[in-house]
Amino acid sequence: MSEIPFVFPNDVHPPWSIMIVLYPYITGLVAGAFVVSALYHVFHREALKPVARLALVTSLCFCAFATLPLLLHLHRPERCFNVLVTPSVTSAIAGFGFIYSAYMLVLVVEVWLVFRPAIVEQANSLTGAKALFYRVLALGVTDITDRSRAIDSRLIRVLAIMGIPIACVLHGYVGFLFGAVKANPWWSTALMPVIFLISAIVSGIAALILLYQFISWRRGETADRECVGALARYLWMFLVLAASLEGLELLQMAYEAGGEWPILRALLTEHLAVSYGLVQVLIGSLVPLLLLLTSFTRRLPARLVMFSSGLASLLILVQVFAMRWNVVVGGQLFSKSFRGFVEFPLHWMSREGLLAAAVILTLPLAALWVAGKILPIWQPAEAGTLADAR
């Protein structure tokens, strides 16, 4: 400690690990995927029909594991229930517990309503244990009438409308938590909640483009160009908005040039030069913006549009992760005295190490694979379901 006199005792070991990087990253995928689903169910964007059900189930699978990074970060994870049992009305963390629970309920009910015709069909056509399993999923109701289809359609739209603000609050509140830390100038900005929300939508759309193209390839089918093109155009617009807000935030810090600006400038130019300047700005923002321009014209070959959209989506997923890293880790690198920097430790095998982080990112994809075995996610919508019931 005597060799680094600028470091206070609570600066030596950064308290937030890579799990706190993963947490907003996964919740961002949840919110972004649900927005795509809502564009179809609420705003009737028919071009998105091939990915509407995939988006909904993807959101549910990622949401199911959204709290796992937080639980691994806690030394007493069983105490998480205290947030719900003894909540504090002034605590953002307690608010998240109720928001997350409400969002999971909306997702589960909407997924059940969307796939109810397929579940009932399986319950009536199969025998034995499989039939029993689908009867349980159908809650014992094994017949569907035209009136029930119409009611289901209206309920799906109502739940999708309800889910939009809940999804926005679910991820916007993460930025709110960082923005409320007044002692940290890298976090405490009014734009932080908005930037987190827009980047969440960006990451969700990018993940859906990659999933849809990969699943189509695995099934030996060709991804629908209109669908991929529409997703790519939405992705380009939200990416422009996200990059603009991030640039405005940094420009405001530089223009104000407060007492903390020298340490923030050193943070960007030295300690985050690669993850921020190269990965987040150049590779993850500027290059995808150019690649996604191919989706705005029909003159280009379909293969080129598919390739450029997929590559741009992959780069954007890396960019959003880098953004989360730069916010969470970058805000812990400089001393609270603003006179120097500390090191951020990375481990492979610990509870909060890189291996555990890789496993957490894999679990939602495994859940999506299991869901695809149970529900007809990739098949065309059944006759007389949502689109016809409208």
pLDDT tens digits along 272-316? 989 999 999 999 999 999 999 998 888 888 889 999 999 999 999
Mean pLDDT computed over 126-143: 86
269 is a domain residue: no
Distances (CA, A) of 223 to 217, 231, 233: 8, 12, 16
DSSP H or E segment with residue 85 = helix 82-85
- Residue pair 241/198 in contact (Cβ under 8 Å)? The answer is yes
- Per the domain annotation, does 336 fall within a domain? no
Is the residue at 302 inside a domain? no
Domain count, the chain: 1
Q: Residue type for 211, please?
A: L
380 is a domain residue: yes
CB-count exposure of residue 95 (10 Å: 0-12, 13-18, 19+): middle
DSSP string, 201-233: HHHHHHHHHHHHHHHHHHTT-PPPHHHHHHHHH
In a domain, 361, yes or no: yes
Residue 278 and residue 223: Cα distance in Å, rounded?
Answer: 31
Cβ-based neighbours of 376, under 8 Å, separated by 6 or more: 115, 118
Q: 81 in a domain, yes or no?
A: yes
How many angstroms separate the CA atoms of 240 and 263, rounded? 28
pLDDT computed for residue 383 by the predictor: 36
pTM of the full structure: 0.88
Half-sphere exposure at residue 130, Cβ-oriented, CA atoms within 13 angstroms: 10
For the ranges 2-11, 79-88, 265-274, which has the lowest average pLDDT?
2-11
Is 276 part of any domain? no
| C-alpha radius of gyration, the chain, whole number | 23
241 within some domain: no
Domain that holds residue 374: 14-180+346-390
pLDDT in tens, 163-203: 888 888 877 778 888 877 777 888 888 888 889 889 999 99
Quote the CA–CA distance of 315 and 309 in Å, as a whole number: 10
